[in-house]
Amino acid sequence: MLPRTEILRYKKHIMLPQIGMEGQERIRAAKVLVVGAGGLGTVILSYLAAAGVGTIGILDFDQVEMDNLHRQILYGEQDVNRKKTEVAKASLQSKHANVSLICHEEKLERNNAVSIIEDYEIILDASDNFATRYLVNDTCVALDKPFVFGSVLNFQGQLAVFNHKGSKNLRDLFPTPPPSEDVPNCNENGVISTLPGIIGTMMAHEALKMMVDIPVLKNQFMLIDTLEMDVQKITF
């Protein structure tokens, strides 16, 4: 049973017939991992914590940089050169004391991926490189964990849910990573500040739906062009 303070806090969730008291209790019991605490990750973390997700892992090994600040909403000028995990946890904990936040200040690699990911139920991949994305995918497939995928560049975003209740995974859509020469360099390409907010919120939205057993994207890859406000779904 939820404490009275949480019933009051999440009453707008509880009022939804698709969530209700039981659904909010599921959200409270959920354990999720957010891989990457950058533009997408800070938005995902903010909304999952606000929704009352009980345990949230934050995985990132970077420090805050000045050019992060236009889109990475948990950080300010005073945080430049500080560890992202440290700042993100402090910022979220000050607003959501009932949420348990676990920091993984390390790079996700083959020698630690299983030991980190196995402790969580839902993985949200907010990383910014193909090596990490495919490592998340392969580890989730091996451990039978669902994960939410998202990416942003310029004015365009992508969204998918992989490996959920028998659905397909990233390699079913893209069997191998693209050649390195075809991959845009994040340091040489821009992104409008609002785009990670749009895609990150959608990623958190799919994760919450998963927690309360509402149908999510299945074998569909969404392409969102916010310059033309055009949305396409590729079924695979």
pLDDT at position 189 is 84
Task: Report the C-alpha gap between 92 and 30 in whole angstroms.
Answer: 17
Q: Residue 138: is its pLDDT beyond 80?
A: yes
CATH of 4-235, one of 3.40.190.10, 2.30.29.30, 3.40.50.980, 3.40.50.720: 3.40.50.720
Q: Where are the alpha helices (DSSP H) in 96-157?
A: 113-117, 130-143
Q: Residue 87: is its pLDDT beyond 70?
A: yes
Q: Residue 101: is its pLDDT beyond 70?
A: yes
Q: Residue 182: is its pLDDT beyond 80?
A: no
Nearest 10 degrees: CA dihedral of 179, 67, 170, 173? -60
pLDDT one-digit tens code per residue, 146-160: 999 999 999 999 999
Task: Report the C-alpha gap between 164 and 147 in whole angstroms.
Answer: 7
Banded model confidence at residue 199, pLDDT cuts 50, 70, 90: very high
Locate the domains of the chain by residue range. 4-235
Residues 6+ apart with CB under 8 A from 179: none
pLDDT at position 185 is 61
Residue 102 CB-half CA count within 13 A? 15
